[in-house]
Amino acid sequence: MSVRKLKPITPGQRFRVVNSFDAITTDKPERSLLAPKKNSGGRNSQGKMTMRYIGGGHKQQYRIIDFKRTKTGVPATVKTIEYDPNRSAFISLLAYADGAKTYIVAPAGLQVGQKVVSGPQAAPEVGNAMPLANIPLGTIISCIELRPGQGAVIARSAGTFAQLVARDGKYATIKMPSGEIRLILLTCMATIGAVSNSDHQLIVSGKAGRSRWLGRRPRTRPVAMNPVDHPMGGGEGRSSGGHPRSRKGLPAKGYRTRSKVKASNKHIVERRKK
């Protein structure tokens, strides 16, 4: 995977950096794994705007992803590596030996024609899904469950990964993508390898119109608002707005909002660095 810098033949291409999509093998998704995706435009059931800065955008179809990897012991062949408009990572189409087809979040290094398998008996190779109890210590993992059977919720974004640090009793110690060190049950599943498309962070859109294609409307800076609209609004001229905070007055940029009595606090060994 690599990125390309375009020649500035138009103003929108002057700073644009695009993904070269070297790893993509097809532009036709599997039709049986597509689902409709409705856009709300940020409005609720009454038609009132409840989320700002949302609307428009290109029509998209949702790709049904298998986050649980429940077909234990059934080998699958990687058919394609595809682009998914709903996530930053690439996805991969698997064809199982029993005829079933599923999409998974593609790990980096996965190749078309490669065999992958899930379950306790799988080898710790890229693309295989295994319980944390069976993964060797120090292994780079992604698409991790937080609760057994829940499906992958951790390290699913492009280029992200976690590391299995230790095992003690019924818990595994995981170093999360944020740097947080956390305990997760050994029966939870994880995929071997980091998530694909690590160059996603290097992409530069180049123009405001690309945000509109993605369904993002222009965002008004809080310091440009009136006091009635935001705690950071008002003031004469270009006043700074004071301490950064949300629309409801909650401090931002460093203020910790996690509950001190949350039940899962006991599973956090070390908080992420500021």
We report the CATH number of the domain holding residue 62 as 2.40.50.140
Are 196 and 64 contained in the same domain?
yes
Identity of the residue numbered 56: G
Are 178 and 265 contained in the same domain?
no
Are 186 and 259 contained in the same domain?
no
The pLDDT of residue 252: 92
Q: Which of 201, 219, 250 is the last residue of a domain?
A: 201
CB atoms within 10 A of CB 45: 7
Chain mean pLDDT for the chain: 95
- Is 222 within the bounds of a domain? no
Q: What angle do CA 20, 69, 152 make, to 5 degrees?
A: 70
Are 151 and 256 contained in the same domain?
no
Are 177 and 104 contained in the same domain?
yes
- Is 216 within the bounds of a domain? no
The pLDDT of residue 91: 98
Are 189 and 248 contained in the same domain?
no
CA 261/CA 269 separation, integer angstroms: 15
The whole domain housing 106 covers 3-201
The pLDDT of residue 108: 96
DSSP state of 49: B
The pLDDT of residue 1: 64
pTM comes to: 0.92
- Is 252 within the bounds of a domain? yes
Q: Name 49's bridge partners.
A: 43
The sign of the CA dihedral 167, 169, 170, 176 is: negative
Residues of the chain with confidence (pLDDT) below 70:
1
Q: What is the Cα 174 distance to its own chain's centre?
A: 18
Are 53 and 117 contained in the same domain?
yes
Q: How many domains does the chain have?
A: 2
- CA distance to 50, 53, 200, 245, 246, per residue, from 223 (Å): 21, 16, 30, 11, 11
Number of alpha helices (DSSP H) and beta strands (DSSP E) in the chain: 1, 17
Are 42 and 125 contained in the same domain?
yes
Are 73 and 193 contained in the same domain?
yes
- Is 70 within the bounds of a domain? yes
- In the block, tokens 């609720």 appear at 44
Length of the chain: 274
Q: Name 144's bridge partners.
A: 154
- Is 33 within the bounds of a domain? yes
**Which run of H or of E encompasses 208?**
helix 208-213
Are 180 and 264 contained in the same domain?
no
Are 90 and 166 contained in the same domain?
yes
- Is 180 within the bounds of a domain? yes
Are 99 and 169 contained in the same domain?
yes
- In the block, tokens 């908080």 appear at 271
- Is 217 within the bounds of a domain? no
DSSP state of 190: E
- Is 223 within the bounds of a domain? no
